């Protein structure tokens, strides 16, 4: 790390690289570059990529369209991790090939759950209580 690096510039850099990795993975999956039957039959959104501060690890959050066959899609992505890591390393110019870790994006489910709770008549009654 050189002296001009601050936590803020490192943070911006990790966000920028994470977004580049997200775009590359989205493109690979959209174009069907991975020869896998499960991935070929599902549209997968790469919702977020979080890079470690040293850019050597990337946590990739994914969501299959309509949430269908989430476990099968995650298994297929994990099976093809080596190929995806090579492609990302090739397309995103980085010193090291980042290790990819695929996880289901639960944020949509959490948002739906919160929305359902807020629409519950008992909660609405409490919110209108003033």
Q: What is the signed CA dihedral for 119, 121, 127, 130, rounded to 10 degrees?
A: 150
Average pLDDT over residues 73-90: 95
> What is the Cα–Cα distance from 73 to 63, expressed in whole angstroms?
9
Beta-ladder partners of 103: 61
Query: Each residue of 22-43: pLDDT tens digit?
Result: 999 999 999 999 999 999 999 9
Average pLDDT, the chain: 85
- Is residue 73 predicted with pLDDT exceeding 70? yes
Which band of pLDDT confidence, cut at 50, 70 and 90, is reported for residue 2? Answer: very low
pLDDT of res. 7:
62
pLDDT of res. 48:
94
Please say whether the beta carbons of 73 and 42 come within 8 A.
Answer: yes
pLDDT of res. 107:
72
pLDDT of res. 113:
57
The per-residue b/e assignment along 80-106, b for 16 or more CB within 10 angstroms, e otherwise, is beeebeebbbeebebeebbebebebbe
- Is residue 1 predicted with pLDDT exceeding 70? no
Domain ranges within the chain, ordered by starting residue: 7-127
**Domain 7-127 class in CATH:** alpha beta
pLDDT of res. 85:
95
The pTM assigned to this predicted structure is: 0.76
> What is the Cα–Cα distance from 3 to 82, expressed in whole angstroms?
35
């Amino acid at each position: 790390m050189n002296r001009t690096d601050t936590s803020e510039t490192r943070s911006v850099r990790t966000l920028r690289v994470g977004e580049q990795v997200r775009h590359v993975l989205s493109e690979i999956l959209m174009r069907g570059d991975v020869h896998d039957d499960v991935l070929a039959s599902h549209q997968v959104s790469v919702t977020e990529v979080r890079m470690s501060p040293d850019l050597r690890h990337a946590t990739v959050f994914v969501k299959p369209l309509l949430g269908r066959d989430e476990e099968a899609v995650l298994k297929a992505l994990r099976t093809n991790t080596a190929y995806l890591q090579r492609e990302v390393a090739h397309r995103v110019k980085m010193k090291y090939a980042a290790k990819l870790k695929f996880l289901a994006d639960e944020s949509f489910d959490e948002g739906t759950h919160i929305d359902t709770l807020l629409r519950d008549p008992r909660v609405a009654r409490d919110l209108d209580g003033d």
